[in-house]
Chain A
Amino acid sequence: MSEHPNLQQWKDLASKQMKGKPVDALDWMTPEGIRVKPLYTAEDLENLDANTLPGMAPYMRGPMATMYAGRPWTVRQYAGFSTAKESNAFYHKALAAGQKGLSVAFDLATHRGYDSDHPRVSGDIGKAGVAIDSVEDMKILFDGIPLDKMSVSMTMNGAVIPILAGYIVAAEEQGVSHEQLSGTIQNDILKEYLTRNTYIYPPGPSMRIISDIMSFCSKNMPRYNTISISGYHMMEAGANSVLQTAFTLADGIEYVKAALKSGMDVDTFAPRLSFFFGIGMNFFMDIAMLRAARFLWHRSMSQFDPKNPKSSMLRTHCQTSGWSLTEQDPYNNVIRTTLEAITAVLGGTQSLHTNSFDEAIGLPTDFSARIARNTQIVVQEESQICHVIDPLGGSYYVESLTNSIIEEAQKIIDEIEELGGMAKAIESGMPKMRIEESAARKQARIDQGLDVIVGVNKYKLTDEKIDFDVREVPSSVRDEQVSRLKEIKETRDSDAVKKALADLTSAAQNDGNLLEAALPAVRARATLGEISDAMESVFGRFVATTRCISGAYSSEFSSNDDTIKSLKKRTADFLEKQGRRPRLLVTKMGQDGHDRGFKVVASAYADLGFDVDISPMFQTPEEAAKMAIENDVHVVGASSLAAGHKTLIPSLIDELGKIGGDDIIVVAGGVIPPGDYDFLFKAGVKAVFGPGTPITDSADKTMTLLEEKYL
């Protein structure tokens, strides 16, 4: 087959409609660097092998033979907040309303291996997930949920040993044996260093923990997925679809190599590897992405020569993009989520989480969670989409796009291979810089209105108001957890705990299986923090290297953009009159690991002529205050996304006051519900910049505050 006989005629017609412009003026360059044409024809399929079948290699059209025609995807909503008791009640309601599997969200203290009474986590307890301190909490969390029947997914990476052990022991005490357990543990540490930031130990010991879990589960929990190799978080941090595909598969390859190195046979563990992709607003791109990922995984796995076909079959969970959801005019988010849900389904996901419309405001309420769940149930049960497998297979455009992603992602995978694999690549900083650069460029395009977001930079409402409830987790959750911890410590056999913890430490020193070694400690009621510490005493705690890109934000603007020019002039004028540039400390306090906004703001402000100090992650208010004083900044900007703002920011202002820094301006940014603004203003915060605030606006406001004070 060659060119369509009438193609030239079409081109002429099109050109005429465009008043003489050539038709390729309609080409669109995607953020992935893929050139998309306005029309695809059969010739675009010419060199592609699109005519494959589902359930068979290379699995492009789906891992299962019957896909949704046989059984639809699993509705699996990620949830967790406050205490185990509250979350348990929420799960029961969700299951009654049509949810099929559980997916547990833990709070940040738990993620980072701290008990609720640890001084570093006072603002984090129960705020962004459920607080778990011991197996007693685990038992409450799964109360009335038969763990032999219910598949449970747990997003846990840092404190994966105490949490997985806690789940296993909670099941034991329900009378459920190890081999009956089914579900998934995320257990994907590489992307924690890259984007999710809930690591505890350095890479070496962390990779060993993963191998230990794979080895324990392959023997004892055959129905359990030992890892969920995640690209979702990379997408949410700013990665485009090619970057997401490449980095995720490169992570997967690294895990396979680690397991092989630890002596396992590829077919014992590879069938239990699962994936997790994020689905954004670029409709066809992400359909193609899922198809490309399956193809690439099959191809990548062939180097390890598996005998079991399941070893190279990519099965995945998907989540719609939270980043694409706005605080402004938030009901629009239901529409966005619906589109993304359909993308995931057309791409052939095995399970799906759909986000709530209040995503950019707080954790879901019963109401918003219902709408979110129903978003995919309506697609599944009302739209008749499920009857046909891979309905876009053979589409000239989708097949061609799938192929472009395969080609572009493979280039990056090869590049990573050359760097010595993903662990080495991460060490070099390459993947993180690519993601952050992509995020900064995206921000610049949105701030200029080049990329449209309805309600944010186009069709804006003049009177935004929130006419629905917002979930707020009270700080009393911490008191509850702390008193339960006290009770457990008083009633347990402390000698047994000591011995079990010492055994765990010795397993850490001597290559014992850490999951196996943690079980007796959990049974004896050792707490999550104690179990973490027992290993930390051998492994140490990982400290991230923070690097910041520069120039990407401003380079997306044309050189004579007035907004940018005027801001640069104002920072330069400030220098002239004050003897130095406006100096801003951007800080992250508490265990909140959301650093996308933090990095984008820091990088963009430097581009605008500020001197920007960035603090390490996970600061206490006292530490942030010390840094502000020593660096003698004019402004401290606290970026808070994990609901610690009402505790941490007033406390920062307090600490600044204690050491004489009460003249330092404090501003805040991040996910702060509008209802909390007044509280923060009263505490002394001078400005609050919520999600969607153009950087040029927040910089303008910050400069105004400075000019009023100093000039």
Chain B
Amino acid sequence: MLKDPKEYVNGVLNKDRLLLARTITLIESTLPTHQALAKEIVNQLLPHTGSSVRLGITGVPGAGKSTYIESFGNMLTEMGHRIAVLAIDPSSTRSGGSILGDKTRMEKLAVNQDAFIRPSPSSGTLGGVGRKTRETMLVCEAAGYDVVIVETVGVGQSETTVASMVDFFLVLMIAGAGDELQGIKKGVLEVADAIVINKADGDNITRAEVARKEYETALHMLMPASPNWTVPVLTCSSIENRGIDRIWETVLAHKTALTKTGEMAEKRKTQALDWMSFLLEEGLHQWFYTDSQVTGSLPRLRQETADGLISPAAAADCLLDHLKNR
């Protein structure tokens, strides 16, 4: 049922929803044939990518990411943008299956003709979140989406991966009890371009304001990641649509500031190089561990190392020699 790469490429360029969706499926597939085809398609689409605003959004489960994207996204399409949302859903069950329910919280955006939302299970994909999301993002850009949003849950390590592929990384928080950072790792704050306290509505407004001040103080202690940007802490209510426009202004201000100084171009360049290194390492890793000579002697060398018959360094050299001699 696979088509010629050209068909997918043309489909994506013609903004065909179906072919865009099926291209993403190929990218996400674990089958080598699918991946080869996907690589070919992405390669051909590459000249048409790069022009969107790439946004990452993270936050603890229930912080309101999906609800935020619902109100943010609808605002953007009203302003004339076309937006793509890639939602990485962590809700895998023990069986490996998952329930993908993000669109139930993006009810209007889900049916908005200027929006494309793709929830993806985070499990069972080769290369993890990184590979598929990055390539999916490129494909969406080629399909003319000028704002691409990646939603990811702020637990585990997916969020730093996402931060390394977007222009702007937004961390969504809620006013929690006390001043602890709600289980969000410090590392996440270090890569944030803005922190937003969501759910600033009803009897929560003052608490949100208090939390805002706390995060501001916490951020003062951190080294700024960019000389051209001070990370702001904002509040918003996704349900009441308040403060959402301010956040878009912030994204644009960030873009202007970094573009003017050349930092944005530099950032994307670094991201591309990092991505290349990542792929290289991944490829080497895979190549090494699937090599028949390696798989042939690895178990024995492991055993001998464990039994103290050979030193770890000698064992490693022995394995690497298989490849050196090629």
Residues of A within 8 A of B (CB): 543-548, 550-551, 554, 568, 571-572, 575-576, 578-581, 602-603, 605-617, 623, 626-627, 629-632, 659-661, 663
Contact = CB atoms under 8 A, between A and B. Distances in A.
Interface of B: 1, 16-18, 21-22, 24-25, 28-31, 34, 91, 93-101, 103-105, 107, 110-111, 116-119, 121, 124
Contact of A581 (B18, B117, B121): B121
A616 B107 CA distance: 6
Contacts of B119: 613, 631
Given A545-B104, A659-B18, A630 B95 contact: no
9 contacts: A545-B104, A551-B94, A579-B30, A580-B28, A580-B29, A580-B30, A605-B97, A611-B97, A626-B17
B18 A572 contact: no
Given A575-B124, A579-B29, A613 B100 contact: yes
Contacts of B94: 551, 554
Contacts of A623: 110-111
Nearest to B96: A609
Please indicate which of the listed interface residues B17, B28, B101, B119 has the most CB atoms of chain A within 10 Å of its own CB.
B101
A571 B121 CA distance: 15
A170 B93 CA distance: 54
A613 to B, nearest CB: 5
A630 B111 contact: no
Contact of B107 (A543, A571, A630): A543
Nearest to B116: A630
Contacts of A663: 1
Nearest to A577: B31
A572 B91 CA distance: 17
Contacts of B25: 580, 632
B32 to A, nearest CB: 9
A561 to B, nearest CB: 13
Nearest to B239: A202
A626 B116 CA distance: 9
B104 A579 contact: no
B107 A548 contact: no
Nearest to A659: B18
A661 B100 CA distance: 20
Contacts of B104: 544-546, 614-617
B103 A627 contact: yes
Contacts of B28: 579-580
Given A580-B30, A623-B110, A659-B17, A611 B98 contact: yes
Contact of B103 (A572, A605, A613, A629): A613
Contact of A607 (B22, B29, B95, B124): B95
Contact of A631 (B91, B93, B107, B118): B118
B17 A616 contact: no
Contact of B93 (A544, A546, A550): A550
Nearest to B23: A632
B103 A616 contact: yes
Nearest to A584: B97
A563 to B, nearest CB: 14
A632 B21 contact: yes
A612 B24 contact: no
B17 A609 contact: no
Contacts of A554: 93-95
